[in-house]
Amino acid sequence: MDLVSVIVVNFNRVSLLRKCLRSLEAQTLAGVAWIVVDNGSSDGSAEMVEREFPQATVVRSELNLGFCGGNNLGISHARGEFVALLNNDAEAEPGWLKALLDEMHVAPKVGMVASKILVAGREDVIDKVGHGIYWDGQNRGKGSGDRDLGQFDADREALWPDGCAALYRKTMLDEIGGFDEDFFAYADDAELGLRGRTAGWLAHYAPDAVVRHQRGATMGKLNPDRIRLIERNRVWLAVLHFPWWLLVLNPFFFLMRLLAGVAAGALGEGEAGQVKGIRGKIEIALALLKADLEAIAGLPKMWRKRQAWRRRRLWSDRDVFALLRRHKMTLAELSRKLA
């Protein structure tokens, strides 16, 4: 049995996928199985993998299952003690898997390990080193946009790992389940991470596990569908896992973040500052409105999931609040910084 199963989910990104898999070929860790889940690509991605990387197992889906369904399909084929995820738009340095595994072995209750993810083409700029979160459920990569000066290397606790490049203990996934497929993509790693944390598992950060990521290559940073998924899913994340008093205050914190984003955009800062023209701003506003309507429509289902998980979790609401407070992001970090 292989020690680690690496899952790469792909949809119509054949050139990026090739670079990603070449970086897996260079890994120094032995006992690694590759599982490439192809989400119904039409660009010959699956055929390329079978032709150029025969060591990989290709799992084909006729439909685009998204990040969540694709990774769950890959996890169902994983036989290793550990499961690693690597985005098809990311390239791992040779010691990536070994560094993740070394950190996983620090303690038996470490269930997740985050990578140091840098922005491809900007070698000293951080994409994310684990995650931070705001009180309304919006979460973002920790350190995003900062120069990597080693300032985060001593902090070995992570809130959760980013699903772009992460290692999970298979026994944890077997215990708590995989990704919530209702999320489809975005904030799914946050939901899985909070489920793991509240079940008593630890999340660590391995600064030597370096990956270079083409940020936003899958959908585009300002794609309205991406904005819609991020906004909808941050509401569902809060409903599933936040203490009741944070849920009551959620509209207030959302308004504060929205106003901070508008102010940053007016100054040309942050992602809002990249939205050009009246049409672009209207598209983003409509995406946010659509997202919140979808989120509201899904509340009954999410509330049932919340109640079911609360019967299983080990943590109290106070424990959850303390974790969120330790990893809280400021409005300035969310609205003004840009990787």
Distance separating alpha carbons of residues 273 and 264, to the nearest angstrom: 7
Give the model confidence (pLDDT) of 197-255 as tens digits: 999 999 999 999 999 999 766 656 678 999 999 999 999 999 999 999 999 999 999 99
Percent of the chain clearing pLDDT 90 (strictly above): 84
- Looking at the structure, tell me whether residues 18 and 162 fall in a common domain: yes
Distance separating alpha carbons of residues 221 and 89, to the nearest angstrom: 14
- Looking at the structure, tell me whether residues 158 and 205 fall in a common domain: yes
- Looking at the structure, tell me whether residues 16 and 115 fall in a common domain: yes
Distance separating alpha carbons of residues 136 and 234, to the nearest angstrom: 7
- Looking at the structure, tell me whether residues 197 and 308 fall in a common domain: no
Distance separating alpha carbons of residues 70 and 179, to the nearest angstrom: 10
- Looking at the structure, tell me whether residues 256 and 190 fall in a common domain: no
Residue 324 C-beta-side C-alpha neighbours within 13 Å = 24
Answer whether residue 335 is part of any domain.
no
Answer whether residue 318 is part of any domain.
no
Give the model confidence (pLDDT) of 145-186 as tens digits: 899 999 999 989 999 999 999 999 999 999 999 999 999 999
Give the model confidence (pLDDT) of 27-55 as tens digits: 999 999 999 999 999 999 999 999 999 99
Answer whether residue 328 is part of any domain.
no
109-123, 268-282, 314-328: which has the minimum mean pLDDT? 268-282
- Looking at the structure, tell me whether residues 294 and 174 fall in a common domain: no
- Looking at the structure, tell me whether residues 197 and 288 fall in a common domain: no
- Looking at the structure, tell me whether residues 203 and 229 fall in a common domain: no
Reported pTM: 0.94
Answer whether residue 324 is part of any domain.
no
Residue 254 C-beta-side C-alpha neighbours within 13 Å = 15
What is the number of domains present in the chain? 2
pLDDT grade, residue 267 (50/70/90)? confident
- Looking at the structure, tell me whether residues 73 and 31 fall in a common domain: yes
Question: What is the average per-residue pLDDT within 88-93?
Answer: 97
Distance separating alpha carbons of residues 20 and 209, to the nearest angstrom: 15
Among 62, 72, 16, smallest CA distance to 40 is for 62
pLDDT at 302 over 60: yes
pLDDT grade, residue 270 (50/70/90)? confident
Answer whether residue 333 is part of any domain.
no
- Looking at the structure, tell me whether residues 233 and 205 fall in a common domain: no
- Looking at the structure, tell me whether residues 152 and 190 fall in a common domain: yes
In terms of residue numbers, what domain contains 39? 4-213
Which of 145, 179, 213 is at the close of a domain? 213
Q: Are 147 and 126 in contact (CB under 8 A)?
A: yes
Across the chain, where does the E strand assignment appear?
4-10, 32-39, 56-61, 82-86, 90-92, 110-119, 126-128, 131-133, 139-141, 165-169, 202-213
- Looking at the structure, tell me whether residues 9 and 118 fall in a common domain: yes
CATH classification at residue 124: 3.90.550.10
